[in-house]
Amino acid sequence: MSYYERHIFFCLNQRDSGENACAQHGAQAAFDHCKARVKAEGLAGKGGVRVNKAGCLDRCAGGPVAVVYPEAVWYSFVDSTDIDEIVESHLKKGEVVERLVLPDAVGR
């Protein structure tokens, strides 16, 4: 059994050049909200869920993006309601939120 049941990584990348990056699209707020929700739901820690920052995940065109392991499901989200749904459905119950899944064709 792995140390965490699920691990979610949020791209928080920012580019000084002003080039498109997840940080311009509310990534930090989404990360903070997710972390708070996971803690409030008692999901954080060993055997539960870990919420981590990441640099560019090279799927910038779909930003802001996050990926959940071990299922390797990629999400693109808009607001805190989307994050709540990812926490409630996927991180808590393992049910993928299909409406937020990032299409495979979306890359950099």
Residues that bind ligand FES (CB under 6 A): 11, 13, 21-22, 56-60, 63, 65
Q: Looking at beta carbons only, is 64 or 92 nearer to ligand FES?
A: 64
In Å, how far are 44, 64, 71, 91 from 49, measured between CA atoms?
Answer: 5, 20, 13, 7
The helix/strand/coil state of 30 is: helix
- Minimum CB–partner distance for residue 39 and ligand FES (Å): 24
- Minimum CB–partner distance for residue 22 and ligand FES (Å): 3
- Minimum CB–partner distance for residue 93 and ligand FES (Å): 26
Q: Looking at beta carbons only, is 19 or 98 nearer to ligand FES?
A: 19
Q: Could you give phi then psi for residue 22, rounded to 5 degrees? A: -60, -30
Q: Report the phi/psi class of residue 42: left, alpha or beta, with left for phi > 0 and alpha for psi in -120 to 50.
A: left
- Cite the DSSP H helix spans in 26-105: 27-40, 80-85, 92-93
Taking a C-beta distance cutoff of 8 angstroms, is the pair 77, 30 a contact? yes
- Minimum CB–partner distance for residue 60 and ligand FES (Å): 3
Q: Looking at beta carbons only, is 14 or 89 nearer to ligand FES?
A: 14
Q: Looking at beta carbons only, is 8 or 65 nearer to ligand FES?
A: 65
